[in-house]
Amino acid sequence: MAGKPTYEQLEQWVKQLEEEGVRRELAEKALIESEIKHKTLVNNIPGMIYRAYTDWSAEVISGCEKISGYTTDELNSKDKNWLSIIHPDDLERVFNEGSVLSTRQKDLTQTYRIKIKNGEFRWVEDRKTSLFTEEGEFIGIDGVVFDITDRIKSEKALRESEKKYKDLAELLPQLVYEMDDKGFFTFVNLAGIAMSGYTQEDFDNGMRGLEIMHDESMDRFAQDIIRVLNGERLTGRNYMLKRKDETVIPITTYSIPIEQDGKVIGIRGVGVDISKHVEAEDALRKTIVGTIRAMAYTVEIRDPYTSGHQQRVASLATAIAEEMGFSEEQIEGVRMAAMIHDIGKIAVPAEILSKPGIISEIEFDMIKTHAKTGYEILERVEFPWPIAKIVHQHHERINGTGYPTGLSGNDILMEAKILGVADVVESMVSHRPYRPGPGIKKALEEISENRNILYSPEVVDACLKVFRENDFSFD
């Protein structure tokens, strides 16, 4: 028989009971807090949580009114449950697709319509997972339902918009295309297919934009693709398109980036066949060149001592412009202006132009009028380049000491600065009735000594390089 407990034992027991009470109280408090957190989390889910059983009856747990307008009690009643508000046309499909959940562990997402309390039909997304015991017995399904009506409407509107865009694109006589961020075509309209000579099947099998570019356009086209994928919009970009039969046609394109969620995912563009335009431009250019040559010949007939001067100046000016990295169009403008830069001399008396002795100051003033006269003749002709201005300014100097208007610095066209240097060099190399030609050495010394004084330093440097490194010759 146990003896009577001592005071110390009683005190220890009391302490143990107190500790157990505190632990029990803390555990109960933690459980309550966990239940509150769980309930808060469940209530904050923007959908409805339910459980379906093996007899396909369903019990709504929470969020019912957010989705259907019904209360939880209303949808858990004998007369109505979740399955009863599924659209009749969708109900069989929902059952057939969901039957797989009873045979194996699986997650399944379904979309279907429900009839909410106000009589309206809404689209929902039902994300469900099957439940099994440890022994493998199917016991039901847990699911969460979200209202996706607005998303469905947006997707439908987007599809309709895309269809309208593609229908419109098919009606256009120009190439309309889309490419992904790897440069593969994702859409080409009928006109584009016809323009390229390829088939729809060719494009469907995966074709890059580079595959329909001629070799001379390939690098520039690739660089432009990168620019558009970096967010640029490019207009009026000219390329040579290579058809399937290897024939080549010139096109001009306009392209913009395709953006989604703030990220560029592709390119959308239009391409226009400009063959007829190019042919017309070529014909016009030939006419212009013929006119310029006729003008140049007119000057040389009146001044036999300077015969060939304009052609030689044009040759050097072209070489300088090429060395300075001018575009083909700019180089052509420099060449054309140089060929007729002395057109104004037709207003100078022939006896002055061909005078063998020293020219007087008055006579030189008359010769200097040729720049202005040339401008007045040429400004009435529509050239694709500023030829009249170039001719007007070819005797201007960057320090303002030139003629006829004393322009300086950036007020002088760069083409006129090139023409001015080429004119000085050729004049010093060639003989004149009133003096022998000083020669190329003196000519290059002249432009070197007056670099950044009379002549543009960029033009002088290019001219010196043309002679000293590129072996330029007037012969």
121 in Cβ contact with 114 (< 8 Å)? yes
As a whole number of angstroms, the distance between CA 327 and CA 334 comes to: 11
Tokens of 68: 């259907």
Peptide bond into 436 cis (omega under 30): no
Give the pLDDT score at 43: 55
The mean pLDDT of 290-300, rounded to a whole number, is: 77
Quick check: 30 pLDDT over 60? no
pLDDT of residue 40: 47
Output the pLDDT for position 56: 66
Joined tokens for residue 39: 């309930």
How confident is the model over 232-242, as a mean pLDDT? 93
pLDDT of 319 = 96
Q: Which residues face 111 on adjacent strands?
A: 125
What contacts 465, CB < 8 A, 6 or more positions away? 323
Read off the pLDDT of each residue in 378-383 and give the average, rounded to a whole number: 86
**Is residue 80 within 8 Å of 74, Cβ to Cβ?**
yes
Give burial (CB, 10 Å; 0-12/13-18/19+) of 368: middle
What pLDDT does 161 receive?
A: 78
Q: What is the mean pLDDT of the chain?
A: 86
Higher pLDDT, 98 or 434: 98
Helix (H, G, I), strand (E, B) or coil at 475: coil
What domains sit in the chain, N to C, each tagged with a CATH number?
48-147 (3.30.450.20), 162-273 (3.30.450.20), 277-468 (1.10.3210.10)
Residue 155 has pLDDT above 80, yes or no: yes
Q: Which of 19-33, 124-138, 323-337, 354-368 has the lowest mean pLDDT?
A: 19-33
Which residue from 340, 421, 459 is spatially nearest to 388, judged by alpha carbons?
Answer: 340
Distance from C-alpha of 316 to C-alpha of 335, rounded to nearest angstrom? 9
At residue 197, the pLDDT reads: 94
The pTM of this model reads 0.50
